A and B are shown apart, each in its own frame.
Chain A
Amino acid sequence: MTAFWSDHATLPAIVLATFAPFAAFFAIMLFTRGRPRLSARLSIGAISVSLACALYLPCVHWRMEQPLEYTAQWIASGSFSIPFGFLVDPLSLLMLTIVAAISFLVQMYSLGYMAGDPGFSRYYAFMSLFAWAMMSLTVASTVLQLFIFWELVGLSSYLLIGFWFEKFSATQAGKKAFVMTRVGDASFYIGLLLVLLHMGNLDILELGGPKATESMSPGFITLAALLVFGGIVGKSAQFPLLTWLPDAMEGPTPVSALLHSATMVAAGVYLFARLFPFFSLSSTAMTVILAVGTISMLLASTMAMVSRDIKRVWAYSTISQLGLMIMALAAGGWFAGVFHLTTHAGFKALLFLCSGVFLHTYETGDIFELSARGGRNLKIPALTLAVGAAALSGLPPFSGYFSKGAVMGALSGLTNPIWALAALVGVLLTAYYSFRVVFVIFFPGSGVAESSVHSHAAGEGHEGGHAETYRAMAWPLLVLAGVTLILGFFEAPLRGFLFGGATAPEAHESVYALMVHYAAIGLGLLGVAAAWVEFGWSRAKRVGLVERWSPALANLFAERWFLDHFYRAFMESVIDKGFASLAHWNDRRVIDGTIDGAGRRTIDAGRRTALWHLGAIQRRLLTTFAVVAFLALYFFL
C-alpha cells in the first residue's frame, strides 16, 4: 500500500530523474564549455539528483501491485496516435536505479581519470547525455519512445567512443559501433513499425497482452519478435554483430565501464526483459534467440581466452555474459536474466574501473606488461580486480555466483540439456580467462622480477604524485566491490520486489538442477585452477593452453573468428567498390553522359544549321546544282 503523498511524488521524481542530466547536457554545451570544473559539477550534480530520485522511487513502490503509467498526448498522424509517457513498474525502477548509480560512480571516478583532458567539459556533457538517454529509455511507456532513446543511447556511445577524436582508431571505432548497431536498429525499426501497423499502438504493457494475439497471427508475431530481436543483437553485441564492442575500448575507460555495465549493451537485454511477454508469445522466436545467445556466449569466451589486452578481455566477457542473460531470458527465466543483468552491471563496472587505474598509471593495457611493471603494487585496484573476477567467474559468495546460479536453474528447466551444457562450458571458460588476467598481473614470474623492482618504484612515484587522482578513482572501486560482495544475498528481496504483490514462482529444485548447480561451481573452480597452473604458481610457463595446443586456433580466436575480415571485405568490395561505384559510374557516365551528350549534340546541330545561313555563295551554288542534278536524275531515269 503506497501512501497518498507518494502517488503524487512519483511523476515529479521520474521527470526530475530523467530531465536533470538533460538539462546539465544543454547547460554545459551552451554555457560552460570553457569552464571544466563547473561543467563537471553540473553534470555530477544532475546525476546526483537522478540518483536520489531513483533511490527514492523503489522505496515508495516496494510492494507494487499494478504498474503505473503516466501518459500525455504526443503525436497524432493519420490513423494512429502515440503518447509520450512514463511506465513505472519494478523492472523499470530497478534499471533506473542501476543506471543512476553506475553513472554516478563513473562520473565521480572520471574526475580523477579525465583530469586535465582538454575535452573535459565535452566529456561531462556527453556523459550527461548518455545518462539522460539511458534513464529515459528505462521508463519509456511505448516501444517507439523506447526506440527513440535507444537511438540516442547509440548516439551518445558514438560520441564517447570517439571522444579522443584525434586518434584515428577511436573515430573508426565510434563509427563502427554506430553503423553496426544501426544494422540491428534497422531491423528493430521495421519490427516495431510492423507491430504499430497491425496493433495500432505500441504500448509496452499491451504488447504482451491479449490485444497482441488478437491483432496478429502467430507467424507474424514470430517475424516481429525476431525483427525486434535484431535490435538487441546489435545493441547487446550478439552474434553476428558483436565485433564493434571490443573496438569500443578506444574510448576513455570510464566510458567503457558505463557502456559495458549499465547503459548501451544493457539496453538490449533490458528491452528483451521489457518485452518478455511479447517474445514469450512465440516459442520459435525464443528458440532462435536462445541459439544466438549461446553462440555469442561461447564465441566471445574463446576470444577472451587469448586476448592480451585487459580491457579487451572484459569486453569479450561482456558479450559472453550478455549472451548468458539472453539465454536465461529465452529459457523463460525472466528473473534470472534480470538478476544477472543487475549483478553484472556492478561487477563489470568494477572490472573496467580497475583496469582504468592500471591504464592510467602505466599507460598500457597489455596484461603481461602490466605485470612486468609491477601492476600488483596498486593495492586497491588489484584487490578489487580479484573481487570482480571472482564474481564474473561465479564463485561464491560474490554476487555473480547467485545470479549465475539462477541462470543455471532456468537453463536446467529446459528439456534439451544441450543449453545447460553449453552454459557450463561457458562457466569454465569464463573462470579460466578471468583468472588468467588476475594471475598474470598478480604473479609476474621470475623472469621479469628484476625489472619489476625498478618499475615498482616508478609506479609508486607516479602514484604518489597523483595521490588525489588516485583517491578519486579508488573509492568508487571500493563501493562497487562492496556491492559485489553483498548484492548476491539480496536475491530473495529483489525477487519479491520484481514480482510485486504476486507470489514469485518458486524455482523447482530437481536433482538435475542441483547437479547443474554444483557442476557450475565445480567447473568454475576448475577454470580458476587451470589458470593457476598456467599463470599463477612459481613454475608456471605463462603461456596459455590454447597457444600451446594449437597456434592456428589461437589465431582464429585472436582474430575474432575472422568476422571483422568478413565485414571489411564485404564493405570494401561489395558496398564501396560494388554498388556505390556502380551507382557513381552510372551517375557520371550514363545519366550525365546522356544529358551532356544531348546538350553537345544540340549545340553541334545548331552549328551545322548555322553554316547554311552563312553567305557562302559557292556552297549554295554547289548545293543547288546537286539538288537539280538529283531531281533531274530522278525524273528522267
Chain B
Amino acid sequence: MQIEYAKFPWLSAILFCCVAGMLAIVFIPEERKTLIKKVSVVFSGATLALSAYLFFAYDKGVGGLQFAERVQWIPRFGIQYFNAVDGFSLPNLLLTGIVFFTGVLTMWELENRVKEFFALYFLMVAGVFGLFMSMDLFFIFVWYDVSLFPMYLLIAIWGTTRKEYGAMKLTLYLLAGSALILPAIIYLFAKSGLGTFDVAALMHPGTFTLAQQKLAFIMLFIGFGILAGVWPFHTWSPVGHVAAPHAVSMVHAGVLMKIGAFGVLRVAIMICPQGWQYWAQLMAALATIGIVYGALVGLRQTDLKYVIGYSSVSHMGLVGLGLSTVTPEGLNGAVFQMFAHGVMTALLFSSVGYIYDRTHTKAIPELGGLSRVMPVASGYFILAALGGIGVPGLANFWGEFMVFIAALKVYPLRGVAVVLALVITALFMLRVVQRTFYGPENPRWSHLPDIPFSLGLPRMILASVLIVLGFFPSILFDMIQTATIPFMNGLLR
C-alpha cells in the first residue's frame, strides 16, 4: 500500500488537542465552570477543524495512506507509533470531530462535576481519534482501551437510569471483546514472522495462510463486533445508551460503535481478507437478524433512549450487512452508513438531551404534545428520526441504498427482508414521534421554553450535515471509493 508521509504531524496534532485540552481542564479551578466549558469548546473545535482540513486536503487522485507519521517505539517487538489515514478512516475522523464538538456544546448546561466530566470526555475521545488514525495493531488495542475506561466513569457518575448496571455491563462486554482481540493480535504478530504490528505490512497478500486467517478473523470479528452491536452481543448498547449522559450517548452510539465496525474493517477484513470471505455468510446472517430484530424490539420500547438504542442495533446491522457482502458497493455503503448513522444518532441523543434536561423524563407515555411547546427542539428530533427511517434528502438514505444494492446482489432474500424491515423502522420511529411530540399539549410541560439559538447550535450543525450529505453524497462516496476500489481490486487479483 502506498504511503505518503506528512511534513507536518497533522494527525498527532489532533491527538495533541485532545490531550492538551484535557490537561488544560485539569488545571482550571473547579468553580470556573464556564471557563472549563469554553476551553472545551476551543479544543474540541480545533480537533473538528483539523479533521475537516484533513478530509478536504486528502489527495483523492493519489489515494492510499496519507498524512503518515512513523516513529519507532519498541523496535524489538516492532511496535511503532504509526499514524496514517485513508478513505476508510477519514470519514470516521471527521465524524468523531463533529460528534465531539457538538457533544461538548450539548453539555453546555452541565453543572455537576464539570471539570471531571470534560476531562474524562476528552480522554475518551482521544482514544477514539487514536484508534481511527493508528496503523499499528498494538496501538489500536491500546487506543481501544483508552476510549473504554473513561466511559465507565462517565456513565457511572453522570448517568441516569440504572447507571451502575449499565456502566458495568458495558465495560464487561467490551472487555470480553478485548479479551478476544488481544490474543488475535498476538497470534497475527507471531504467525506473520515479520516481527511487526504494522497493519500496512501485515496486509500483504500471502502473509497468512487460509487457516490462520479464518481463526484470526472470527476472533477479531466477534471482539470488535461486540462493540459494533452485532446481534446477539448487542444488549450492552441500549442499556449503555440509556444510562449514559447525553454527550456520552452521542459519542457512544455515534462514534464508539463505529470503532467496532471500523476495527472489523481495518484489522479483521484488511489483514485477513480470505477469512472475511470464509465467514461472510455468518456475518450476513447475524447482520440480517440484527436489523430485523432491532426494529422489532424497538417497537416495544417506552423509553426514548431505549428506542434510539434499538434503532442503533438495527442500523449498525446495516453496516455489518454491507461489510459482509464482499463487494465495493457493500464497503462503500457500510462506511457511509457508519458516518450517517453517527451523525443521525448524535442528533437524536442531543435532542433528547434538551428534552430530558427540561422534563426530567424519557418515558414516552409521560411526554406528548411537545411540538406545540418546543417546536424547534422537536423539529430536530423529528428530522433525525426521518433520517433513521431512511427518507431521501438525508444522509442515511445513501448508506442504506448502497447496502441494499450490495445485499440484493449477493444475498437476494436477505436483501428483501432488510428492505421490508424499513417498514418496521418507519412504524416505530413514527410511533415515537407521534406519542412524544404530537397530541394535545400536556399542561405539565406547557411552561417549558423552546430551544434558544445558542443551545440549538449543535443540533443545527448535525442537522446540516445530514441534509448536505443527503443531497451531495459524493462528498463522502468519492472519499470512501479511494480506499474501496484499490482494496477490492487487490483482493480479486
Contact = CB atoms under 8 A, between A and B. Distances in A.
B408 A194 contact: yes
Contact of B473 (A75, A193, A582): A75
Contacts of A582: 296
Contacts of A166: 369, 372, 438-441
Interface string A139-160: 0000000011101100100100
15 contacts: A77-B477, A78-B406, A148-B397, A158-B430, A165-B437, A166-B439, A175-B427, A175-B431, A178-B426, A178-B430, A179-B430, A186-B420, A193-B404, A584-B300, A587-B293
Interface stretch (B55-63, B77-85, B151-159, B386-394): B386-394
Contact of A193 (B297, B332, B392, B408): B408
B474 interface: yes
B419 A155 contact: no
B322 to A, nearest CB: 11
Nearest to B231: A591
B388 to A, nearest CB: 13
Contacts of B406: 78
B399 to A, nearest CB: 11
A611 to B, nearest CB: 24
B328 interface: yes
Contacts of A579: 296
Contacts of B473: 75
A179 B427 contact: yes
Nearest to B331: A78
A587 B238 CA distance: 11
Contacts of A79: 328-329
A172 B375 CA distance: 19
B400 to A, nearest CB: 9
Interface in A173-190: 175, 178-179, 182-183, 186, 189-190
Nearest to A196: B405
Interface of A: 33, 73-79, 122, 147-149, 151-152, 155, 158, 162, 165-166, 168, 171-172, 175, 178-179, 182-183, 186, 189-190, 193-194, 196-197, 575-576, 579-584, 587, 591-592, 595, 599
A197 B408 contact: yes
Given A189-B404, A584-B297, A591 B232 contact: yes
B172 interface: yes
B250 to A, nearest CB: 23
B416 interface: yes
A152 B397 CA distance: 12
Interface string B363-405: 0000001011001000000000010000111000110001011
Contact of A575 (B375, B405, B424, B478): B424
A183 B416 CA distance: 12
Contacts of A148: 392-393, 397
A582 B169 CA distance: 23
Contacts of A190: 408, 415-416, 419
B468 interface: no
Given A575-B299, A584-B300, A78 B393 contact: no
Question: Mostly helix, strand, loop or mixed at chain B's interface?
Answer: helix
Give the 9 A-B CB pairs with smallest separation, nearest first: A78-B328, A148-B392, A78-B329, A165-B438, A583-B296, A580-B299, A584-B300, A171-B438, A580-B296
Contacts of A178: 426, 430
Contacts of A580: 296-297, 299-300
A232 to B, nearest CB: 17
B191 interface: no
A76 B478 contact: yes
B423 interface: yes
Contacts of A196: 405
Given A76-B481, A186-B422, A165 B297 contact: no
A152 B423 contact: no
A168 B440 CA distance: 8
Contacts of B405: 193, 196-197
Nearest to B402: A77
A179 B426 contact: yes
A144 to B, nearest CB: 8
Interface in B397-456: 397-398, 402, 404-406, 408-409, 415-416, 419-420, 422-424, 426-427, 430-431, 434, 437-441
Given A583-B293, A584-B296, A182 B434 contact: no
Contacts of B371: 165
A148 B397 CA distance: 9
B235 A75 contact: no
Contacts of A583: 293, 296-297, 300
A591 B423 contact: no
Nearest to B294: A583
Given A77-B477, A151-B391, A580-B300, A595 B235 contact: yes
B178 interface: no
Nearest to A84: B471
A32 to B, nearest CB: 14
A171 B439 contact: yes
B300 A581 contact: yes
Contacts of A77: 328-329, 332-333, 402, 477, 481
